[in-house]
């Protein structure tokens, strides 16, 4: 992990490992867990399929390595309270368009239990922690985070997975203007009657 912990080897085929991970993310994102084969991933990375097994042990291990993900949520305390929803939705849109790892995770989570578990972990830990700074009681905090996740993941599902035409065609800034108030209310509002 850390760059200069142990100079065991002068770095060997780290480039190969990186190429495998890149190809794996692409395939998992495009085809889902079951249809993405080790053979296809190896072909994309222009290496032998057995190398994938050697480096990552199994298909599950490869996915676990490829689906490592950090939402990189900003500190919500540093955001003007009135702009919380807009900041969040802009952050997620940028994070999604720029890194296909989250799409791979989203698609795989539908059929692979391990991927679903990781999805739960990411949103339970990272998103709930970010919401927790407002300091309401834990149950309400978890509920707010869950509601935010439902709209964020629904946006991703309709735009990147199912590709509903209106959700694909709508420009990001228009999506922001519609969805920001929703997140704002989930974060700071109260349920209606």
Partner DNA sequence: GTCTATAATTCGATAGAC
Partner DNA sequence: GTCTATCGAATTATAGAC
User: Among residues 20, 29, 119, 130, which is the contact residue for a copy of itself, using CB under 8 A?
Assistant: 119
- The site for DNA, by CB under 7 A, has a size of 20
Minimum CB–partner distance for residue 122 and DNA (Å)? 24
The interface partner of residue 174, options being a copy of itself, DNA, none and the CB cut-off 5 to 8 Å by kind, is a copy of itself
Alpha carbon distance 105, 58 (integer Å): 17
Question: Rounded to whole angstroms, what are the CA distances from 38 to 52, 56, 59, 100?
Answer: 7, 11, 7, 18
CA 158 to the chain's CA centroid: 15
Minimum CB–partner distance for residue 73 and a copy of itself (Å)? 16
By the rule CB under 7 A, 117 interacts with DNA: no
CB 127 within 8 A of CB 148: yes
Question: Rounded to whole angstroms, what are the CA distances from 43 to 19, 34, 38, 60?
Answer: 11, 17, 8, 18
Query: Binding string, 39-78, against DNA, x = CB under 7 A?
Result: xx------xxxxx-xx--xxxx------------------
The interface partner of residue 49, options being DNA, a copy of itself, none and the CB cut-off 5 to 8 Å by kind, is DNA
Minimum CB–partner distance for residue 149 and DNA (Å)? 29
User: Among residues 13, 50, 136, 150, which is the contact residue for a copy of itself, using CB under 8 A?
Assistant: 150
Phi, psi of 3 (to 5 degrees): -70, -45
Query: Binding string, 16-55, against a copy of itself, x = CB under 8 A?
Result: ---------------xxxxx--------------------
The interface partner of residue 22, options being DNA, a copy of itself, none and the CB cut-off 5 to 8 Å by kind, is none
Cα 181–94–65 angle (5° rounding)?
Answer: 120
**Coil, strand or helix: which one is 26?**
helix
- H helices of the chain, in order, are 14-35, 38-44, 49-56, 59-66, 84-98, 101-109, 113-121, 128-131, 138-156, 165-169, 172-188
Write out the residues near a copy of itself by the rule CB under 8 A.
31-35, 106-107, 109-111, 116, 119-120, 123-124, 142-143, 145-147, 149-155, 157-159, 161-167, 170, 174, 177-182, 185-186, 191-193
């Amino acid at each position: 992990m850390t760059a200069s912990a142990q100079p065991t080897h002068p770095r060997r085929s780290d480039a190969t490992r990186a190429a495998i991970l890149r190809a794996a993310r692409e395939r998992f994102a495009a085809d889902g867990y079951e249809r993405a084969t080790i053979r296809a991933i190896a072909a994309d990375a222009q290496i032998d399929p057995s190398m994938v097994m050697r480096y990552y042990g199994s298909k599950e291990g490869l996915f676990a390595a490829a689906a490592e993900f950090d939402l990189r949520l900003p500190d919500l305390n540093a955001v003007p309270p009135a702009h919380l929803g807009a900041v969040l939705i802009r952050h997620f849109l940028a994070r999604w368009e720029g890194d296909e790892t989250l799409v791979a995770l989203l698609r795989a989570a539908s059929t692979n239990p391990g991927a679903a578990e990781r999805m739960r972990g990411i949103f339970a830990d990272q998103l709930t922690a970010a919401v927790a700074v407002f300091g309401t009681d834990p149950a309400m905090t978890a509920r707010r985070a869950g509601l935010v996740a439902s709209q964020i993941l629904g946006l991703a599902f309709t735009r990147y997975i199912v590709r509903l035409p209106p959700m694909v065609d709508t420009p990001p800034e228009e999506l922001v203007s519609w969805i920001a108030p929703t997140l704002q209310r989930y974060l700071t509002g109260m349920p209606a009657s």
